[in-house]
Amino acid sequence: MRTYYNEYKSKLITAEKAAKLVKSNNIIDYGMFAAKPVDFDVALAKRAGSGLEEVAVRGTGTVLPIPEVIKSDPEQKTFQYFSWYFTAIDRKAGDFGLAAHLPANYHEATGLAYNEDFAHLWSDVWISQVTPMDRHGCFNFGIGNSHSRGLALNSKLAIVEINENLPRCLGGNEEFVHISEVDYIIEGSNTPAFATPPSPAATAEEKKIAEFIVDEIMDGACIQLGIGALPNLIGNMIADSDLKDLGIQSEMFCDAFVRMYETGKVTNRRKAYDVNKSTFSFCLGTNETYEFIDDNPLLASCTVNYTNNPTDIARHDNVVTINNILEVDLLSQVCSESFGLRQISGTGGQLDFVIGAFHSKGGKSFLAFSSTFKDKEGQVHSRIKPLLTPGATVTVPRTQVHYLVTEYGKANLKGLSTWGRAEALINLAHPDFRDDLINSAKEMKIWSKTNRIPF
């Protein structure tokens, strides 16, 4: 059998030498989420102020450690940092003008990575953490598949940074890059893979929301859970339910899925394809979750187009998708990613799964949120507003919204008039805000004499 020892040795390079390959005006793509490079990033950041100029660094869902290219160049003369999906780190960097958002529907990322019409966006250098090379010469993308292979193949230089602590996630599809397809190999310092802390205890409002949603799930449903404490809570509640024969197709594999497996809820027997396997594109979770997905043949790591394409999602029956939102207006426009002009997260795959679930036979898409929130001064605000906060991004257009859920109930908005939507939303609002919302609806001409006073 062929060995790759000599080829491997010939491509070995230090992080410092790899960083010196970057030139002014280059585009650098970092690996997805917790697969972003660590050693290369440190070495590249040391070149700030050295004559290197206007290097664009693109990340996705930035996690700890904070990228050194952000910290090293506050004047942004050398590096400009961009993120496809904002996290707390990206938000804080954005507050100081050190990061900019790249809006996109997540399932389109694979197409952008491969489609020659977008070759002007392809990177000069792609660099990602990967697992150690296997005996077939392959490096696994671990918890950051997404669209990594397309980025690697279409970059001018492809570099891998090996981390022995990354879980190896089996395919699926496109979960690897071969040694013949990379230009350089960095043997990294094997920093622990970023792991999320356990979710905080659920509030009474979140528990009520979860109960409303779990009550709508049927045996054999194919589940997607979004990012955040509430989707994880719902997954744990599913694990404790009497449901059976559930399937999983989700852009992210989250902690609650492990419990759903452990309690025997997940079999994937009733999926239209990928039968007996849970399909996902990346993972952010605890170390226990990483241990579960490592070399697990029950799971399939795939490109994000494969997991998130609405047409393919809809091929499964009874798809149930569950995601968080930040606010919604009386026109039923949903914002899930910004507070006014402040970018909080991103569209991600939310719209992908809203559309896919609706077109699934028996499918349901749930957008969940607590009816109110407190600001820094402790003042309570309604998440249901007459109009979205000025500058807020419409993540899900009103024409696509299916179910909305708060602690006060759930509403199916499909097919409702503007008057019907306003009434349904006000019924979901906290009672303290309902009178004001009714007055606003009247001013907006979306409250008729036939509307019922919310209870």
> Could you list the active site residues?
251
Q: Strand 364-368 vs strand 252-253: parallel, antiparallel, or unpaired? A: unpaired
CA angle 210, 211, 216 (to 5 degrees): 100
Q: Strand 79-83 vs strand 55-59: parallel, antiparallel, or unpaired? A: parallel
Question: Quick one: three-class SS letters along 93-127?
Answer: HHHCCCCEECCCCHHHHHHHHHCHHHHHHCCCEEE
